[in-house]
Amino acid sequence: MVSAPTTTVLVHSPYLGPASLRPLAGALAAPGRPVLLPDLRVTVNAAPVHQRLIGAFADAVGDSPVEGDLVLVGHSGAGPLLPAFADALESPVTGLVFLDAELPTPGRSWRDDAPAERMAHLRAIARDGLMPRWDRWFAPEALSAMVPDVRLLEEIVGEAPEVPLAFLKEPRPTVGWAGPCGYLRLSGAYGDACAEARGLGWPVRELDAHHLAAASAPERVAGPLAELVAALSRP
């Protein structure tokens, strides 16, 4: 009996929506690879964000028609949650890929390891306990340079939720992961995380691109990502 091919599960950042990864999903699926892209936006509107995210992710994957093994791919802020996402699933997970993402820090919050001035800035711009949408953290020209397609950028921006400031203070899940991992760096901002991954002996791929390259250059990202997924899949 031939087993089902490994499904790549793309997990968007808590600060963005599935539109940020939808072009990449299309590029990965084009040759016939099974891909799943859950929409987790509704779970980040109220605390406890981590708990709500993990529960919604498990429900979305459990309710999907995927069969066989899974490799989870977490972009940006979804990266630290990958072990907890894997632990919450009934389907077998053979590997985790961190896509321009932070690595897990079990039991520690984002605030614990962030520069104090950055936390102070986000606290200052928060209103009624909610941070502004992710796109408002940057100058408009910075985002348009990364995603020149106006319609796609509007879709990405339109999906960006207002995340509670409390999310940055919540300790990350203490769930461990003993399975294989890989790292795909898209931007210079994640050079340290990429170097740490390489030091841990993980397979690593690097692109000279930017944080939203999965949206604006999906074919370029799909190639090395597919290589990592294949490396982490069971024979």
Q: What is the pLDDT of residue 2?
A: 53
Q: What is the per-residue pLDDT for 43?
A: 83
Q: Quickly tell me which residue has 């990864």 as its tokens.
A: 21
**Which domains does the chain possess?**
7-107+172-232 (3.40.50.1820)
pLDDT at 67: 87
10 alpha-carbon distance from chain centroid: 7
Position 155 scores a pLDDT of: 96
What is the spatial order of strands in the sheet that 70-75 belongs to? 35-36, 7-11, 70-75, 93-99, 181-185, 204-206
Report residue 99: phi and psi, to 5°.
-100, 100
Q: What is the DSSP letter of 130?
A: B
Give residue 149's identity as a one-letter amino acid code.
Answer: D
Q: What is the mean pLDDT of each run of 10 residues along the chain (235 residues)?
A: 82 97 98 96 88 95 93 97 96 97 94 90 90 86 92 95 93 93 97 98 97 97 97 89
Residue 235, pLDDT score: 79
d(CA 94, CA 117): 38
